[in-house]
A and B are shown apart, each in its own frame.
Chain A
C-alpha cells in the first residue's frame, strides 16, 4: 500500500510556541486516516502545516513524491488537496452557490457532482442563493465540506467535520465520506467523535504533545479499550 501523504520529522513553530515537535506518519493512498488526540495535541496544526497555511520549520512533507513543505497554500491546493478547516472559514457575505463556485477552481461547477453533493446535503440546494452567513451551524459545516469536495481531489484534509452537526446529518456525512473514499481519494481527518472515527477511518494516528504516539489500523484501536484509554484518556469515553 503506497503512501499518498508522508510527514517526516515535521516541526512547526507558531510565534514562540513549538507546536509540532517531529511529526512522522504517512496516510496510505485511497484510505481514510484518522488523526486523533487530546485537545492541543497538534492535530489542527498538522493539517494546516500540510496545507501550507503554516510553514514547517523543519522536516519533510510529501504528496506522493512531490515535496509540499516548500509550497505555498495555493500551490498545495492546485495539486488536488482539498481543505475543510475546523472553523469552516466560509465566506459569509457570499451565497452558498458563490462559495461553491470558488471551491471549483479549475472551471465551472459540474452539475452531476453538484447533484451528488445535494443528495447528501439537501439543505445546500434549499439555501442555494442564501448568504452563507445566514446558515445554521450544521448547514455551514455541510457547505465547508461541500466546498472541499466540489471538485475531485487527490487528498482531502478535514478538521472536525461533525462538530455541531445533528446526528442525522452525521450519518449523511459518514456515507458521503465513504463514497468519496471509494473513488480512491485519500482522506486525512481530525475527529473528536470516536464513533465517527471508528466508522470512517481505515487507519489511525494518535498525537500527543506535537508527536505521533501511535499508528496502526483503526480496527485495532477500536477493538482495544485499554489502548484507547492509554492513548486518548478518559475524554474518549464521553465521545462514544
Chain B
C-alpha cells in the first residue's frame, strides 16, 4: 500500500459551487438589461481583465492577512512600487516595445513583470522586518505602522522618480483590439486575463500540491500548531509576505501598463479595492479572492454602463450583499 494510493476510491472533498457561480449569475442577470451582445461581450471581457489585475494585487494581501493576521495597509506601496519598477525596464527598452517583433515585445513585457515582482518582493522583505515584525499580534499598531510605512514608501517613490506621472507605452504587439463582429476586445486585456489566470493557477498549484503550500494553508488556520510540528513559522511568514508583495508589484505593473502611466498614488487607490475583494472572498482564501475579483470588476463594469452613478458605490454594495448572504465571505477559511 502506498501512502498516496490509500483511499483513492473514496469520495474527494466537495467544493461549494454556488459562490463560484456568482460572477456568472451576475453576468446572466445583467445581459438582458445591456441588450446588445457586442456591448455585453466587450464589458464582460473588460471586467474579466480588470478582475484578473485586481486579483493579482489582492491575492497577496489575503495570504498575508489570512496567515500572518497582519492588517497590512502598506500593501498599496508595493502596487505603486511595482508600477515604477516596470518603468525601469520599459523606458530604457522602449525600442524593444516599439519594435515590430512579437518576441521583443513579449520579452520586454516579461522583463518588466519580473522586475516589478522581484523589486516589490525584495522591498517586502525589508518592510516585514522593519515595520511589520515589531507589531505582530497588535492590530491597532499594525494599522498605524503599515499606514506610516506606506506614506514613507510613497514619498520615497516621489523622491526617487519625481512627483509627475511616468507615462508608459504598451509593447506594440499588445496594442489594439481583437474584433469579433461588433465586439472589440483589447489585446492587452486578453494578456492581463491570461497573466491573472496563470497567477491563480500557480498559486493553487503551490498551495495544494506542495508542502510549502500546505504549510501556508495550515498556518492560516493555526500558526501555533504549525510551529509545534517543527516548522519555523517566522520564516514562512517572511516568505509569504515577500510573495504577497511580489504579487502586488506584478499587479501594479499590469495596472500601470493598462492605464499607460505609473504614479505613487496608485497604491492608495487600489488598496481599498483589494480589501473589499479579500473580505468578499473570505479572509485568507485565494480561491475566494479570485471569484470576488471577477465579481467586483464585472459588477463595476455593468453598473458603469447601466447606471453610471451606481458604479461609484457598486463595490461597497456588492460587499454588503455578499456579507448579508455569507457573513464570512464566499469561501471562508476555518479559524478565521
**Are the C-beta atoms of B228 and A102 separated by less than 8 Å?**
no
A127-B10 in contact given A94-B214, A102-B214, A111-B2 (Cβ < 8 Å): yes
B292-336, CB under 8 A of A: which get 1 and which 0? Answer: 000000000000000000000000000000000000000001110
**Are the C-beta atoms of B10 and A92 separated by less than 8 Å?**
no
**Are the C-beta atoms of A74 and B232 separated by less than 8 Å?**
yes
**Are the C-beta atoms of A125 and B214 separated by less than 8 Å?**
no
- B218: chain A residues at CB < 8 Å are 91, 94, 98, 102
**Are the C-beta atoms of B224 and A89 separated by less than 8 Å?**
yes
Determine which residue in B215, B218, B225 has the highest number of CB atoms from chain A within 10 A of its CB, and name it: B225
**Are the C-beta atoms of A105 and B231 separated by less than 8 Å?**
yes
A69-81, CB under 8 A of B: which get 1 and which 0? Answer: 0001110011000
Asked if A11 is an interface residue, CB under 8 A from chain B, the answer is no
**Are the C-beta atoms of A108 and B3 separated by less than 8 Å?**
yes
- B233: chain A residues at CB < 8 Å are 74
**Are the C-beta atoms of B217 and A93 separated by less than 8 Å?**
yes
- A130: chain B residues at CB < 8 Å are 10-11, 13
- A115: chain B residues at CB < 8 Å are 1
Within 8 A of B (CB), among A126-152: 126-131, 133-134, 147
Asked if B29 is an interface residue, CB under 8 A from chain A, the answer is no
Asked if A205 is an interface residue, CB under 8 A from chain B, the answer is no
- B334: chain A residues at CB < 8 Å are 91-93, 133
Determine which residue in B218, B226, B333 has the highest number of CB atoms from chain A within 10 A of its CB, and name it: B218
Complex Cα distance, B229 from A89, in Å, reads 11
- A53: chain B residues at CB < 8 Å are 224, 227-228
Can you give 9 A-B contacts (C-beta < 8 A)? A74-B227, A74-B233, A89-B222, A89-B224, A91-B221, A93-B333, A93-B334, A97-B6, A128-B6
- B232: chain A residues at CB < 8 Å are 74
Kindly list the 8 A-B residue pairs having the minimum CB-CB distance in the complex, ordered from nearest.
A128-B7, A77-B230, A92-B334, A109-B3, A89-B225, A105-B230, A91-B218, A73-B227
**Are the C-beta atoms of B229 and A93 separated by less than 8 Å?**
no
**Are the C-beta atoms of B10 and A114 separated by less than 8 Å?**
no
**Are the C-beta atoms of B229 and A98 separated by less than 8 Å?**
no
Asked if A173 is an interface residue, CB under 8 A from chain B, the answer is no
Counting residue pairs across A and B whose Cβ atoms lie within 8 Å, the total is 98
Instruction: Apart from A97-B7, A134-B13, list 16 A-B contacts with CB within 8 A.
Output: A53-B228, A74-B230, A74-B231, A77-B228, A78-B230, A92-B335, A93-B221, A94-B218, A101-B214, A103-B229, A111-B2, A114-B1, A118-B6, A127-B7, A127-B10, A130-B11
**Are the C-beta atoms of A73 and B228 separated by less than 8 Å?**
yes
The distance from the CB of B226 to the nearest CB of chain A, in whole angstroms, is: 7
The distance from the CB of B210 to the nearest CB of chain A, in whole angstroms, is: 11
Asked if A85 is an interface residue, CB under 8 A from chain B, the answer is yes
Within 8 A of A (CB), among B205-239: 211, 214-215, 217-218, 220-222, 224-233
The distance from the CB of B168 to the nearest CB of chain A, in whole angstroms, is: 40
- A103: chain B residues at CB < 8 Å are 229
Complex Cα distance, B8 from A97, in Å, reads 11
Residue of A nearest to B208 (CB): A98
Asked if A83 is an interface residue, CB under 8 A from chain B, the answer is yes
- B333: chain A residues at CB < 8 Å are 93
- B224: chain A residues at CB < 8 Å are 53, 73, 89
**Are the C-beta atoms of A114 and B3 separated by less than 8 Å?**
yes
Asked if A95 is an interface residue, CB under 8 A from chain B, the answer is yes
The distance from the CB of B9 to the nearest CB of chain A, in whole angstroms, is: 10
Complex Cα distance, B231 from A72, in Å, reads 10
Residue of B nearest to A134 (CB): B13
Complex Cα distance, B270 from A63, in Å, reads 52
Complex Cα distance, B6 from A111, in Å, reads 9
Asked if A19 is an interface residue, CB under 8 A from chain B, the answer is no
- B11: chain A residues at CB < 8 Å are 129-130
Asked if A51 is an interface residue, CB under 8 A from chain B, the answer is yes
The distance from the CB of B95 to the nearest CB of chain A, in whole angstroms, is: 49
A128-B10 in contact given A91-B217, A108-B3, A114-B3 (Cβ < 8 Å): yes
Complex Cα distance, B214 from A102, in Å, reads 7
A129-B10 in contact given A93-B217, A101-B214 (Cβ < 8 Å): yes
Residue of B nearest to A103 (CB): B229
- A114: chain B residues at CB < 8 Å are 1, 3, 6
- A77: chain B residues at CB < 8 Å are 227-230
Residue of A nearest to B232 (CB): A74
Complex Cα distance, B217 from A128, in Å, reads 18
- B222: chain A residues at CB < 8 Å are 89, 91
